[in-house]
Amino acid sequence: MNTPHDSVVWLGVPAFPEAARSALADTRLRANLRKATGTIREKRLAATGELDDWEELRAAGAAIKRRVLRHLDRYLEQLEESVLRAGGTVHWAADAAEANRIVTGLVTATGEREVVKVKSMATQEIGLNEALAAAGISACETDLAELIVQLAGDRPSHILVPAIHRGRAEIRELFRRRMGDRGRPAPHGLSDDPADLAEAARLHLRDKFLRAKVAVSGANFACADTGTIGVVESEGNGRMCLTLPDTLITVMGIEKVLPSFADLEVFLQLLPRSSTGERMNPYTSMWTGPVAGDGPRSFHLVLLDNGRTATLSDPVGRQALACIRCSACLNVCPVYERTGGHAYGSVYPGPIGAVLTPQLMGVGQASSLPFASTLCGACYDACPVKIDIPEVLVHLRAAEVDAGRGVLPKPEALAMKAAAGLLGSPRRLAAAQRAVAMTGRVLARRGSIGRLPGPLARWSATRDTPAPPPESFRAWWRRTHTGTSAAEADR
Amino acid sequence: MRIALFITCFNDTMFPGTGKAVVRLLERLGHTVDFPQAQVCCGQMHFNTGYRREAVPLARRFAEVFGHCEAVVTPSGSCAAMVRDHHRVLDPGLSSPPVYELSELLVDVLGITDVGAWFPHRVTYHPTCHSMRMLRVGDRPLRLLRAVRGIDVVELPAAEACCGFGGTFALKNPDTSNAILADKVHHVRATGAEVLCAGDNSCLMHIGGTLSRMRTGIATRHLAEILAATEEDAHEHPS
């Protein structure tokens, strides 16, 4: 049984700095990430650079999303009406537990024990597969990378490329050992050639598609005016799930609603170019309720809150809800490129995860994530809907620090207070500079310091530090421009 | 022109040579430099680490000290960005004077790219993140460097990638910071440069710390120090 938000983060995962340390030592992970993020960065730059109006598109995407967030209540009610009019059913879920209860109930009512799934962040966020399993229902992930993650009993490490941390030799082993447990086994003599691996997955999944009576999907978009739901994917496996079964259940975060069908013009350009670096998405499936004689006969839309309205109430933080899950920010992030996604301990890794996860969870949770960034700003530049991720990171850092005030102050808080005192007065600053210069002279060997004391040892473990100069700039200025010595001027 | 120097507390304490270079350079170009002695820190470290309350008096102090100035120059991209973009977040009522990072002042305000410098070394340039993505200084620093006599400016591979410093990030996430830094150092070494140049001494201290620890023999120099160097005073201020 899920408590409200317990699936967004993975229990038992240590704080980011510790989790990152072990990830950084994983040679294969580092090599995979360097290659994959490097390739996709180049592709994205080519695909966005060729459009003269890319910046206008970004601005349009950002404006539409801002409007959605401003009038979310209205658009959601309109979406509900439209979906009902088209013959679908709409369910409202306040949290993960409620969403899981609704989906489990719907599947159970069909009498089926097996569902096929389209790759979906929302269902991962609520831990749906685990909830279904607890009710005796097996869920089969049909996205190739999600299938790899599922067979391995692993966790996804990228929003778009969940198995980015796996090499093809590992995948071959997984397919050989595990595919048989969940259906059609891998062909005899399977090689680690990508085409062979894809063929093995195709055969394994084809069995599932032909048998499946119930499918569960997420949604990239939902148009309030028409009730049209859209799923964007690259393999066609999603299309199979969305068209072959009798019952389709879609779980969607409430922020995914768009005002109108015409808005897709903007997002179907922004998303593929930002995510995979493609001009056009390979499989874009859209449906407006069930249609007699074609595709699913019943359609259920589960609208998921799970911390979103709480996030919406924060004027700075709410922009994270504009995210279209393209993962461009992951691919350009210097931190993500080194640590990969597991270190974030969340379904949502990378820069967007660092701002989304703590907000969906509430302040005090996932508290190391807003600090897991150099604030280099590459994510903001890459974001197709212009989410100012550094702004939100710094905002959440402040919330985290403020939440710790009043209780016993941490050494860091004491140091920051002391620093603010020293740095806030020219006289105290000058005195501190003389102390630094004196200490520096004691510690320095040939102009640089090898080892620093206390927490600064984390710095000096890999870096020399220049010896502080005997005279600060302000002391030099006083001496050369005002004719007073520092000591005199400070009195 | 009368230009007030915002030295930044970090340069003031650790890299006074950079401040002296700014003074020498601007005076050589015929301008007058003021150093308001009541200046303190801009509050960037506090702001970026979440200690906003502590940063507010620092932002107010900045406005008091520099509020009346015609132009303020600072040899730090990230402190310039802090003052320009974030002081108003701390106190929306603050009125800021025009604050320029050094390359902006030279190219945009003073309209000059050849500052008459001489620096006969092979140099590569790291465009620090806040200069590049917050101030958008673009190629201004490189235009200034390329106009220096005797210099051999070589391109830094993956120049726009962060160096992994990130202020307190380097202390809170030391392992990740080092992993990012290792790649930057690799690229710097690949250029064959003798000198790594940037517009922020904090990033330079971070990269230079490992360049020194690894005994690469590659020196770090703030942009101001290269632009201030001339053949005549090479003796007086050896690089």
The Cα A462–Cα B212 span in angstroms is 10
Per-residue pLDDT band at A4 (split at 50, 70, 90): very low
Instruction: List, for residues A89-112, the tens digit of each pLDDT value.
Output: 999 999 999 999 999 999 999 999
Q: Is A257 helix (H, G, I), strand (E, B) or coil?
A: strand
> In Å, how far is A474's CA from the nearest CA of chain B?
6
Contact B164, B189 (CB under 8 A): no
pLDDT-derived band at A357 (thresholds 50, 70, 90) equals: very high
Report yes or no: A273 and A47 within 8 Å, Cβ to Cβ. Answer: yes
Question: Which amino acid is it at A249?
Answer: I
What distance in Å separates residue B37's CA from the closest CA in chain A?
A: 7
Q: What is the pLDDT of residues B22-36, one digit of tens each?
A: 999 999 999 999 999
pLDDT for A82 beyond 70: yes
Instruction: Note whether B162 contacts A477, CB cutoff 8 Å.
Output: no
**Facing residue for A339 by CB, picked from B16, B132, B176:** B176
Contacts of B204 in chain A (CB under 8 A): none
d(CA B96, CA B104): 17
Q: What is the rounded average pLDDT of the residues A447-475?
A: 91
Q: What is the pLDDT of residue B180?
A: 98
What is the per-residue pLDDT across A225-263, written as a single tens digit (0 to 9) for each? 999 999 999 999 999 999 999 999 999 999 999 999 999
Q: Does A363 touch chain B (CB under 8 A)?
A: no
Q: A338: closest CA among B49, B130, B159, B178?
A: B178
Task: Count the residues in chain B.
Answer: 239
**Topology given in CATH for the domain delimited by B122-228:** Rossmann fold (3.40.50)
Contact by Cβ (8 Å): A231, A301: no
Cα distance between residue A239 and residue A218, in whole Å: 12
CATH class given for the domain over A16-309: alpha beta
Residue A445 pLDDT: 82
- A491 pLDDT band, cuts 50/70/90, is very low
Residue A446's pLDDT is what? 79
- For residues A474 and B137, give the distance between their C-alpha atoms in angstroms, rounded to a whole number: 27
Instruction: Flag if A429 and B38 touch (Cβ within 8 Å).
Output: no
Span A178-234, pLDDT tens digits? 999 999 999 999 999 999 999 999 999 999 999 999 999 999 999 999 999 999 999
Residues of chain B with C-beta less than 8 angstroms from the C-beta of A432: 13
B46-104 confidence digits (pLDDT tens)? 999 999 999 999 999 999 999 999 999 999 999 999 999 999 999 999 988 999 999 99
Residue with tokens 């259906």: A183
Residue A488: the pLDDT is: 53
Please give the class, per CATH, of domain B2-109.
alpha beta
Of A204, A274, A269, A278, which is closest to residue A234 (Cα–Cα)? A278
Residue contact A338–B177, C-beta within 8 A: no
Task: Identify all chain B residues contacting A339, using CB atoms and an 8 Å cutoff.
Answer: 176, 179
pLDDT (tens digit per residue) in B129-185: 999 999 999 999 999 999 999 999 999 999 999 999 999 999 999 999 999 999 999
Residue A1: per-residue pLDDT: 36
Angle at B190 between CA B189 and CA B193, to 5 degrees: 60
Buried b or exposed e, range A228-256, using 16+ CB within 10 angstroms:
bbbbbbbbebbbbbbebbebbbbbbbbbb
Size of chain A, expressed as the number of residues it contains: 491
Under an 8 A CB cutoff, do B180 and A374 touch? yes
Residues of B in contact with A336 (CB under 8 A): none
Suggest the residue from A37, A473, A482 to mutate for an interface test with chain B (most B CBs closer than 10 A). A473
**What mean pLDDT do residues B11-24 have?**
97
Q: What is the pLDDT of residue A362?
A: 82
Identity of the amino acid at A104: T
Question: A with B: how many residue pairs have Cβ under 8 Å apart?
Answer: 188
Confidence at residue A10, expressed as pLDDT on a 0 to 100 scale: 75
CA distance B191 to chain A (A): 20
Q: Is residue A84 within 8 angstroms of chain B, CB to CB?
A: no
What confidence tens digit (pLDDT) does each residue in A318-339 have?
A: 999 999 999 999 999 999 999 9
Whether the pLDDT of residue A158 is over 90: the answer is yes
For A423, which of B40, B174, B178 is closest by C-beta distance?
A: B40
User: Domain residue spans in chain B?
Assistant: 2-109, 122-228
Residue A55 C-alpha from the chain's centroid: 23
Interface membership of A144 toward B (CB under 8 Å): no
The residue-averaged pLDDT of A368-374 equals 97
A420 and chain B: CB distance < 8 Å anywhere? Answer: yes
Q: What is the pLDDT of residue B205?
A: 97
The 8-class DSSP code of residue A19 comes to H
Contact A20 B173 (CB under 8 A): yes
Q: How many CB atoms lie within 10 A of CB A133?
A: 12
DSSP state of B134: I
Select from A424, A455, A456 the Cβ nearest to the Cβ of B57: A424
d(CA A365, CA A460): 31
A336 interface with B at CB cutoff 8 Å: no
Q: How far apart are CA A105 and CA A45, in angstroms?
A: 45
Average pLDDT over residues B94-122: 96
Tokens found for residue B13: 């304490």
Q: What's the one-letter identity of residue A387?
A: I
Parallel, antiparallel or unpaired: strands A247-253 and A465-466: unpaired
CB B107 within 8 A of CB B135: no
- Position A408 scores a pLDDT of 79
- Average of per-residue pLDDT values in chain A: 93
Mean pLDDT of A351-376: 92
pLDDT at residue A484, rounded to an integer: 67
pLDDT at B96: 84
* Nearest-angstrom CA–CA distance, B224 and B222: 5
> For the ranges A396-405, B13-22, B216-225, which has the lowest average pLDDT?
A396-405
Tell me which chain A residue has its CA closest to the CA of residue B215.
A464
- pTM of the full structure: 0.95
How do the domains of chain A map onto residue ranges? 16-309, 411-490
Instruction: Kindly state the helix (H) or strand (E) to which residue A300 belongs, with its residue range.
Output: strand A298-304
Helix, strand, coil shares of chain A, percent, nearest 5, are 55, 10, 35
Residue of B nearest to A474 (CA): B12
Task: At A7, list the tokens.
Answer: 């699936």
What integer pLDDT is reported at residue A5 of this predicted model?
45
Q: How far is A375 from chain B (nearest CA, A)?
A: 6
| Alpha-carbon dihedral sign for residues B139, B144, B147, B148 | negative
Q: What is the DSSP string of A307-373?
A: THHHHHT-TTGGGGGG-----HHHHH-HHHHHH-SGGGTBSS-HHHHHHHHHHHH-TTSSTTGGGS-
ipTM of the complex: 0.96
| Cβ–Cβ gap A371/B173 under 8 Å | yes
Task: Identify the bridge partners of residue B72 per DSSP, sorted by sequence position.
Answer: B4, B99
Cβ contact, residue pair B209, A465, below 8 Å = yes
Amino acid at B163: C
- Strand order, beta sheet including B195-198: B152-154, B122-125, B195-198, B219-222
Flag if B176 and A471 touch (Cβ within 8 Å): no
Q: What is the DSSP string of B147-183?
A: TSBT-EEEPPTTTTS--S-TTTHHHHSHHHHHHHHHH
- The maximal CA–CA distance of chain A, rounded, in angstroms, is 94
